[in-house]
Amino acid sequence: MIRELLTLYLEEWGAMVTAVATADDGNEALRKQDWTLLITDVQTPGLLNGVDIAWMASQQKPQTRIIVMSGYYEYAGRVLPPGAEFLPKPWPITQLQELLCAQLNHADGAGWSASAELVPSQTFANKA
């Protein structure tokens, strides 16, 4: 349900969204495409979890910005890749917007706002 909600919000903000159901599917997509932003939950179905895919993305595509979210606060202390941000759930949509802006401004240096062109997904994002 969070994937669908995020997809809806991101599309409303002008994003072209590709959502994947598992970190395993995300890993497959990562190998095939370049992404600017990865948004993942720690608890994802499949063999991999969100922290696994965050580390894979940071190693395979170091330019990828990463947001890892979880409602399980014991994951807040897990080691994330350099530059990755942890977003504890529940979060207000404004907090997500601010974090997206910060991550994408850092990624391209050109600045980003919720009305700018953005190509994210629940697990991966690519700025066109």
Q: Encode pLDDT of 63-119 as tens digits.
A: 888 999 988 766 656 689 998 999 988 888 889 888 888 887 765 544 444 433 333
Is residue 36 included in any domain, yes or no? yes
Is residue 104 included in any domain, yes or no? yes
Is residue 51 included in any domain, yes or no? yes
Is residue 38 included in any domain, yes or no? yes
- The mean pLDDT of 6-23, rounded to a whole number, is 80
Is residue 39 included in any domain, yes or no? yes
> End-to-end distance of the chain based on CA atoms, in angstroms?
26
Domains in the chain, number: 1
Is residue 125 included in any domain, yes or no? no
Q: What percent of the chain has pLDDT over 70?
A: 75
CB-based contacts of 58: which residues, under 8 Å, 6+ apart?
Answer: 64, 66, 81, 82, 83, 84
Q: Tell me the CATH number at 98.
A: 3.40.50.2300
**Global pTM value:** 0.77
User: How confident is the model at residue 57, as a pLDDT?
Assistant: 92
